[in-house]
């Protein structure tokens, strides 16, 4: 699966570059960074957790990737990626075969990448999950990510395994 994620990241960088969605650095060249990641989200407030209740969680994982065109970023062979105290909303759904089917979910907070070279890179994130897939928008730095969730094995999960790719500009 790791090879497929890396191929997807390369394709995503190419598409974003072709359409000019990347910001220019001081030299006029786009400063890009791409990485794949996997980790575990901890649903500290439980599941389901719907608004107006404020639900908090933590995420910790590993990332592999790096920067191009002058971006000071290196996570080879791997580095830590984490988010502590993010908020989430996972409205209740049906339970089928001991697995929850919550069709939609949202989360937001700050996620931090701790590269092997250079300073930590914190970014604001907002995601919208549909089923087992989330589209994640990043800001400061700007970026996008696509994440996949491993299906839970109980109707009251407290953790979730996540795999994804990200591109930063």
**Residue 108 burial (CB count, 10 A):** 17
pLDDT digits (tens, 9 = 90+) for 7-47: 444 444 443 443 333 333 334 445 678 899 999 999 898 88
Give the chain's domain count: 1
**How many Cα atoms within 13 Å fall on the side-chain side of residue 122?**
6
Q: Which residue has the higher pLDDT, 51 or 34?
A: 34
Domain that holds residue 158: 2-168
pLDDT digits (tens, 9 = 90+) for 134-145: 999 999 889 999
Q: Is 16 helix (H, G, I), strand (E, B) or coil?
A: helix
pLDDT digits (tens, 9 = 90+) for 77-100: 889 999 999 999 987 777 777 667
H helical segments located in the chain: 2-18
CA–CA separation, 154 and 169 (whole Å): 38
């Amino acid at each position: 699966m790791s090879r497929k994620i890396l191929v997807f990241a390369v394709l995503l960088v190419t598409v974003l570059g072709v359409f000019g969605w990347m910001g220019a650095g001081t030299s006029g060249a786009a400063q890009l960074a791409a990485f794949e990641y996997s980790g575990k989200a901890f649903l500290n407030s439980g599941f389901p957790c719907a608004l107006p209740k404020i639900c908090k969680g933590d995420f910790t994982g590993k990332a592999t990737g790096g920067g191009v065109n002058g971006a000071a970023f290196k996570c080879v062979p791997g580095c830590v990626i984490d988010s502590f105290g993010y908020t989430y909303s996972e409205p209740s759904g049906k339970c089928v075969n001991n697995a929850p089917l919550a069709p939609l979910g949202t989360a937001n907070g700050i996620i931090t990448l701790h590269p092997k070279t250079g300073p930590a890179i914190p970014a604001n994130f907002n995601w919208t999950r549909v089923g087992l897939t989330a589209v994640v928008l990043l800001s400061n730095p700007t970026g996008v990510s696509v994440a996949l969730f491993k299906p839970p094995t109980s109707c009251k999960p407290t953790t979730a395994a996540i795999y994804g790719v990200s591109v930063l500009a």
